[in-house]
Amino acid sequence: MFNDFKTTVLLCAALIMGLMLAVGALGMQSLKAKNAALNAELVNAQVSVNALISSNENQAAEIARLERDNKIVSDLNNSHRKQVADLESALGRKIERAEQLRTSEHEPTKTWANADLPLDALQLLKQADCKSSDADQSGVCPTAN
């Protein structure tokens, strides 16, 4: 009986060891499969990170370009505002001088300043405006005869 008990215990121990090895092997395979899946996820994550870094660099370059363009547009706007102010100032001075001629104390000057231009002179002025690419008030240039 002692022999049968030893044999039974050894068989049970061997069976338990075999089951533990089988469960361990299955656990190992499961862990290897999880490891492979995690490695694939890591590779995908790295690709995503690289794409985001590239996108971020592209956006940084686009922001820099837009900032340069914004500075150029801002400088052009400032230059345009200065030119408009200069033109308005010059126009104001010319209008003031024309008004001085129209209200002059010297009667021949006053008469000359308030006289209408002859039609021929108006026609020549319109042609000159069209040649300088300025159309008249209606936007129509007369055709040259």
Q: What is the pLDDT of residues 29-43, one digit of tens each?
A: 999 999 999 999 999
Q: Identify whether the C-beta of residue 131 lies closer than 8 Å to the C-beta of residue 114.
A: no
User: Is residue 7 in some structural domain?
Assistant: yes
User: Is residue 125 in some structural domain?
Assistant: no
User: Is residue 129 in some structural domain?
Assistant: no
What are the structure tokens assigned to 38, written together? 């995690």
Domain count, the chain: 1
User: Is residue 134 in some structural domain?
Assistant: no
Q: How confident is the model at residue 137 (pLDDT cuts 50, 70, 90)?
A: low
Query: How much is the average pLDDT of 12-27?
Result: 90
Phi-psi region for residue 139, left (φ > 0), alpha (ψ -120 to 50) or beta?
A: left
DSSP state of 133: T
Q: What residues contact residue 113 under an 8 Å CB cut-off, 6+ apart?
A: 98, 101, 102, 104
- For 43, the domain range is 2-114
Q: Identify whether the C-beta of residue 114 lies closer than 8 Å to the C-beta of residue 102.
A: yes
Tens of pLDDT, residue by residue over 77-131, are 999 999 999 999 999 999 999 999 889 898 888 888 888 888 888 888 888 877 7
pTM to 2 decimals? 0.47
